[in-house]
Structure 1
Amino acid sequence: MKRQLCVLGLLATLVTATFAHEGHDHDEAGKKPLAVGNQAQRLADGTLFIPKSAQRGMGVLTLKAASETVARSLELPGRVIMDPHLGGRVQAMQPGRIEPAGPHGLPAAGSRVKKGEVLAWVVPASGAIERANQAATLAELKAGLGLAEKRLARLRDLADTVPKKDIDTAETEVLSLKGRIAAVGGGLSGREALVAPVGGVLAASNAVVGQVVEPKELIFEVIDPDGLHVEATAFDPIPLDQIAAATVAVGDQVVPLSYVGAPRRLREQALPLIFENHAAGAGLALPLGQPVKVQVKLKSTVQGLPLPASALVRNTANQVVVWVKTAPENFAARAIRSEPLDGRRVLVTGGLQAGERVVVQGASLVAQIR
């Protein structure tokens, strides 16, 4: 009996030593949740377990955060506008009907035009009574011109006995009647030429053959293909003397802009800031009126961790977070503070340490793992 009790005590000691050895107890083991299986999953402490195969499937890429000193930036809403020096508009000066200027018809939007090129004709539109009055006036002027020419011829035949001033008066009257006839005749059969004020690309073409237009109606709009103007709107006071430059994102590219100036008059309680870029094809990068986000760079600097904007996601609490790779298959969320840097990057100013590996591609897919 005593031998059996000794054996049972020895077994209990061995079991206790197996499950609770030195430096590890049951409480500490419960604090480290373990992944079950080989599938991407969210662990009990909120971290993620993502196997290498799942990382490759989601296209997860990481980047080591590095501290840098960069220019402070402000993000302002803006829109693309026409360069007033290198662009222009073509408007009708009188009511009439649109006619093509050549055998190829009217130019389409996107066509290149030269300065002084006739884009279309406007045939004046007038009523029957008005045209009848002009025709009557023209007939009267022609009759008066015939009499004046005959009188001038008689005076020239009597040049030896007629004062020179009478001949000069008759010649002036003939010239005056010819000018009036030309003016009235041009009003009846003339047409207005719509001429390109500058060379460039047609940004808009609102003309159709046979279309009736009114005075001041916009027919064509010409822009410079190598000039881009952006107007940013500042609703809060900013130091204008601290503005250095700006950038705007166009797809995957960042287009640099130079600061032109700002008027000293508010428009709709906001101050417009003008930026420009003159480069090959800059004016074709964005259409007129396109809303954009302008990243205005100031002369002052700030230190932080630049990261691609694709690294930032929101969690269930609507906080801006980034996912940090803590182990080859483990990821943890970090709530951060950030500010805009340019059209593609942001500057993390808090919540992240330099040297941590941040998910910069596939972060939105990582955040969806449950």
Structure 2
Amino acid sequence: MVADPNAGGRVQTFQSGRIEAGPNGLAVLGQQVSKGQILAWLQPAATALERGTQQSALAELAAQESVLERRMARLLQLEGSVPQKDIEQAEIELAAFKKRKNAVGGSLGREALVAPVSGVVSAANVAVGQVVDAQAVVFEVVDPKRLAVEAMAYDPLLLDGLTKASAPIAGGLLDLAFVGLGRTLKEQAMPVLFRVETPKNGALPAVAVGQTLKVLAQTKARQAGVAIPAAAVVRNAANESVVWVHESAERFVSLKVKAAALDGHSVVVTDGLNGGERVVVQGAASLAQIR
């Protein structure tokens, strides 16, 4: 399970420094955040000498700005007796100098660590006061409604005609829509990307990024067999796959079968059933315990 690259992201630092709480405190695991929200502040690391040099340069800029403002005020008082181009030039110089001063002043301030997307904080790797290095991953944000599955296919021939897939999980089933194939082998397999489709009720089962799933993909290839619910296939005492068939009143017979997964709910029996049998689909495991 992976995050949708268009609906998830990481918050990393550009430089080393000390972590400080944001306007609403330090973002915590599971917190709902919106794009652009400040999750924390980063106070850049600087020695006393570097800090003193920067503050000295800012003080010089402030003094020069004051001189320019006074010059501008004098020119405005003499408006009409001095060329208009001198007044316009002074205005341009003062505006450019203010931008320069703000740029220098901004470099002395804290760096805002903001959420790249709207979603939920899935990882919080810092605490208030912690010193971090440049490019450290501070937070990870994902949208729990927009997830994806990256599967590994070790037989490329099976990918021909791939349409959709499903992934059984505890408490439900994920419906997956095929997105594309990776053309670079990964762990000697071809990566396949699926998008998790949102159920009609709008709520996905409890899943997490990094969770391992078994993906059952559907292709256009056809195979002869009998489709039955997966719960109908159980194991006997010899650990063989069997199904229970209702032959007559209060008489059930187990038949050995060969079955392959069809989707998250069903399997296809390729050997052992002819079709038309009354197969037990609920409580088959209980029948297997009867001696």
Range that drifts further, 339-348 or 200-209? 200-209
Counterpart of 2:130 in structure 1 is 211
Q: Is the 8 A contact 1:308 1:360 kept in 2?
A: yes
Of the candidates 225, 238, 244, which is equivalent to residue 304 of structure 1? Answer: 225
Aligned counterparts of 1:150 and 1:357: Cα–Cα separation in 2 = 98
Looking at both structures, which has the greater relative contact order when contacts are Cα pairs under 8 Å and sequence separation is at least 6? 1
2:214 aligned partner, one-letter code:
K
1:120 aligned partner, one-letter code:
A
Residue 223 of structure 2 aligns to a residue whose secondary structure is: strand
Counterpart of 2:263 in structure 1 is 342
Aligned counterparts of 1:318 and 1:147: Cα–Cα separation in 2 = 92
Aligned counterparts of 2:221 and 2:138: Cα–Cα separation in 1 = 46
Rg larger for = 1
1:216-295 alignment to 2 at 5 Å? 216-238=135-157, 240-279=159-198, 281=202, 285-295=206-216
Q: What RMSD in Å do the two structures reach over aligned CA positions?
A: 3.4
Distance apart, 1:96 and its partner CA = 2.2
Q: Is the 8 A contact 2:175 2:197 kept in 1?
A: no
Distance apart, 1:242 and its partner CA = 0.6
Range that drifts further, 213-222 or 289-298? 213-222
Residue 225 of structure 1 aligns to a residue whose secondary structure is: coil
| Matched residues, number | 289
Residue 107 of structure 1 aligns to a residue whose secondary structure is: coil
Distance apart, 1:254 and its partner CA = 2.5
Residue 182 of structure 1 aligns to a residue whose secondary structure is: helix
Q: Is the 8 A contact 1:111 1:202 kept in 2?
A: yes
1:45-84 alignment to 2 at 5 Å? 80-84=1-5
Residue 302 of structure 1 aligns to a residue whose secondary structure is: coil
Distance 1:229 1:92, change over 3 A: same
- The TM-score normalised by the length of structure 2 is 0.80
Distance apart, 1:270 and its partner CA = 1.0
Distance apart, 1:231 and its partner CA = 1.2
Residue 292 of structure 1 aligns to a residue whose secondary structure is: coil
Identity level (%): 48
Aligned counterparts of 2:8 and 2:178: Cα–Cα separation in 1 = 19
1:183 aligned partner, one-letter code:
A
**Corresponding position: 1:192 with 2:122:** no
Structure 1, unpaired ranges of 5+: 1-79
1:75-224 alignment to 2 at 5 Å? 80-103=1-24, 105-146=25-66, 174-188=94-108, 190-224=109-143
Residue 134 of structure 1 aligns to a residue whose secondary structure is: helix
Distance apart, 1:288 and its partner CA = 0.7
Distance apart, 1:102 and its partner CA = 2.8
Q: Is the 8 A contact 2:174 2:197 kept in 1?
A: no
Aligned counterparts of 2:171 and 2:225: Cα–Cα separation in 1 = 23
Aligned counterparts of 1:281 and 1:218: Cα–Cα separation in 2 = 31
Residues 189-215 of structure 1 show CA distances to partners (whole Å, capped at 9, x for unaligned) of x11222222222232333422232332
1:275 aligned partner, one-letter code:
F
Distance apart, 1:235 and its partner CA = 0.8
1:324-335 alignment to 2 at 5 Å? 324=245, 332-335=253-256
Counterpart of 1:43 in structure 2 is none
Distance apart, 1:162 and its partner CA = 8.5
Residue 49 of structure 2 aligns to a residue whose secondary structure is: helix
Structure 2, unpaired ranges of 5+: none
- The TM-score normalised by the length of structure 1 is 0.65
Q: Is the 8 A contact 2:4 2:148 kept in 1?
A: yes
1:346-365 alignment to 2 at 5 Å? 346-364=267-285
Q: Is the 8 A contact 1:96 1:212 kept in 2?
A: yes
Range that drifts further, 221-230 or 136-145? 136-145
Residues 173-196 of structure 1 show CA distances to partners (whole Å, capped at 9, x for unaligned) of 5555433332332222x1122222
Q: Is the 8 A contact 1:312 1:363 kept in 2?
A: yes
1:344 aligned partner, one-letter code:
H
Distance apart, 1:121 and its partner CA = 1.9
Aligned counterparts of 1:186 and 1:311: Cα–Cα separation in 2 = 68
Aligned counterparts of 1:284 and 1:359: Cα–Cα separation in 2 = 28
1:101 aligned partner, one-letter code:
G
Distance apart, 1:365 and its partner CA = 5.3
Residue 301 of structure 1 aligns to a residue whose secondary structure is: coil
Aligned counterparts of 1:90 and 1:248: Cα–Cα separation in 2 = 30
Distance apart, 1:340 and its partner CA = 0.6
Which of the two has greater helix per residue? 1
2:8 aligned partner, one-letter code:
G
